[in-house]
Amino acid sequence: MQGSSREHGVFSFNELITSDLESAKKFYGELFGWEFRETETIYGNLYLVAMKGDKVVAGMMLREGNVPDDVPLIWDQYVTVDDVDASARKVLEIGGKVMLPPTDIEGVGRFCVVLDPQGVGLNLITYV
């Protein structure tokens, strides 16, 4: 991540959770001119990093094997925080829920999944 994406409180990344990775790759590749680099999720499954030239613009992964079945197919957003562990504690203090506790993503950083008091989900991330 570059620039403002490392600033606390700034949306820094978008990730597609899909049921058909190849179809999503074809659709978004044709729509936006994205190219894709294959890597793995923290669970060892295929993960696509979407590139526009040399810039990372998004990520894509299958729901199956990566997130619970009740998670909707969605573009999932990440907000940068200075300290994901402290932010997870703050979420609990102010009435939210932590759905996935702070977890390391090798070579990327540490993230967690939270819900606000209305039940809206969001990912918090601290980059390495």
Domain 1-77 shares a fold with domain 81-128: yes
Supply the pLDDT for residue 6. Answer: 86
In angstroms, rounded to a whole number, what is the distance separating the alpha carbons of residues 114 and 85? 12
Task: Tell which CATH classification among 2.30.30.140, 3.40.50.10800, 3.10.180.10, 3.90.1300.10 matches the domain 1-77.
Answer: 3.10.180.10
Sheet hosting strand 74-80, strand order edge to edge: 35-40, 46-52, 55-62, 11-18, 74-80, 121-127, 109-115, 97-105
Residues 3-45: pLDDT tens digits?
457 899 999 999 999 999 999 999 999 999 999 999 999 889 9
* Domain spans in the chain, listed from the N-terminal domain onward: 1-77, 81-128
Q: Domain spanning 81-128: which superfamily? A: 2,3-Dihydroxybiphenyl 1,2-Dioxygenase, domain 1 (3.10.180.10)
Q: Is the pLDDT of residue 111 over 60?
A: yes
The predicted model scores a pTM of 0.87
